[in-house]
Copies of this chain bind each other. A is one copy, B any other.
Amino acid sequence: MTNKMQRIVLASRPRGAASSDNFRLETADIPAPGPGEVLVRTLFLSLDPYMRGRMSAAKSYSAPVEVGATMGGGTVSEVVDSNAAGVRPGDIVLGMGGWATHAVLPADQVRKVDPAVAPVSTALGVLGMPGFTGWYGLTQIGRPKPGETLVVGAATGPVGSMVGQLARAGGLRAVGVAGGAEKCRFAVEQLGFDACIDHRAHASADSLREALKDAAPDGIDIYFENVAGKTLEAVLPQMNVHGRIPLCGTVAWYQGGSDADHDQLPAAWRGILTRRLTVGGFIIADHYDRFPAFLGEVAPQVASGRIVYREDVAEGLENAPEAFLGMLKGRNFGKQLVRVAG
């Protein structure tokens, strides 16, 4: 084992859309763990849309990454060295190792992952933060009822695919929106969505709305919002009275905002009023007290194959920026991961 590690730091803050210039690959000495800490070797790095927000200095729900600092992120890692009781070399742990080949983490901030339950990468996706986000938002804010209709964007992503499968299992009509015919086919054939609309085939929100009318002929009771943009614009007028909108992401706007030529807020606000909607913003980090309930319900279904998931794995830490930028454009197909070590 060499005593050098690699990491990707935030080289500069994006102006408008993020680009590869905003990242820099660096080499550094592998640090030694202090008391109560563990040294881990990253196996998988999770790439998630929220990271775009942390690249900017603007106030958000988590502190921005400092320029020159390592990009943060969830990781599944192997413990290499431990100064903490209960964690041993060879253990596989979930933690916030960041965009790096190695990390020193407080032992009380890692959680052991059992490779016997499911492939360890699932701790970053279907059985991790994104899957939990879908489960929590749907069950706690969406409050689904059999016979209702649900719409979710990024339907083949780790949040959308959880939401759609849980909705179907709960007796709802599940309509996905995804980018591309192949993703839509996967959503219907593998994930069990009743219908999936390819937003790339609809240049305007009006056109997308017409497709939604066909796919959701009884209107929409729950719109699980993780994309915003054109999808939101198309969905809102189709919402049924007393509909619910769990809101956990607006990824279509992360790279530069709306391209609408007018203020859409009055119509949105009026829609919420006249349709008596409830819009509930949530940040999953607030709700980890419910994580055991989520795992208890969902892990057996993943193990049995009843809940399907798909991963999109980039190879090598050096390819993380490209994979991340592609994900913001919807180029990933399934949960975006980086395999940092084999």
Chain A contacts to B: CB under 8 angstroms = 59-61, 225, 228, 232, 247-250, 253, 257-258, 260, 262-266, 268-270, 272-283, 286
Contact = CB atoms under 8 A, between A and B. Distances in A.
Contact of A258 (B232, B266, B277, B278): B266
A266 B282 contact: no
A263 B266 contact: no
A257 B266 contact: yes
A24 B224 CA distance: 47
A208 B269 CA distance: 20
B269 A277 contact: no
A276 B61 CA distance: 9
Given A250-B270, A270-B250, A265 B260 contact: yes
B276 A278 contact: no
A283 B278 contact: no
Given A253-B270, A270-B250, A265 B258 contact: yes
A307 to B, nearest CB: 26
A263 B268 CA distance: 11
Nearest to A225: B269
A262 B266 CA distance: 12
B273 A263 contact: no
B228 A274 contact: no
10 contacts: A249-B273, A250-B269, A250-B270, A250-B273, A253-B269, A262-B263, A264-B265, A276-B286, A277-B280, A278-B279
A247 B265 contact: no
Nearest to A273: B281
A286 B258 CA distance: 34
Given A263-B263, A263-B264, A273 B283 contact: yes
A76 B286 CA distance: 50
Nearest to A259: B263
A264 to B, nearest CB: 4
What 10 pairs between A and B have smallest CB-CB spacing? A258-B263, A272-B281, A264-B265, A273-B281, A279-B279, A260-B263, A253-B266, A61-B274, A265-B265, A258-B266
A229 to B, nearest CB: 8
A276 B228 CA distance: 16
Contacts of A257: 263, 266
Given A263-B265, A272-B279, A278-B278, 13 more contacts: A61-B274, A232-B265, A248-B273, A250-B266, A253-B266, A257-B266, A258-B263, A264-B265, A265-B268, A268-B268, A276-B282, A276-B286, A277-B279
Contacts of A280: 277-279
A273 B247 contact: yes
Contacts of A263: 257-258, 260, 262-265
Contact of A281 (B253, B258, B264, B274): B274
Contacts of A264: 263-265
A265 B264 CA distance: 6
A307 B258 CA distance: 45
Contacts of A61: 273-276
Contact of A228 (B60, B258, B266): B266
A263 B274 CA distance: 21
Of A253, A279, A281, most buried by chain B (CB within 10 Å of CB) is A281
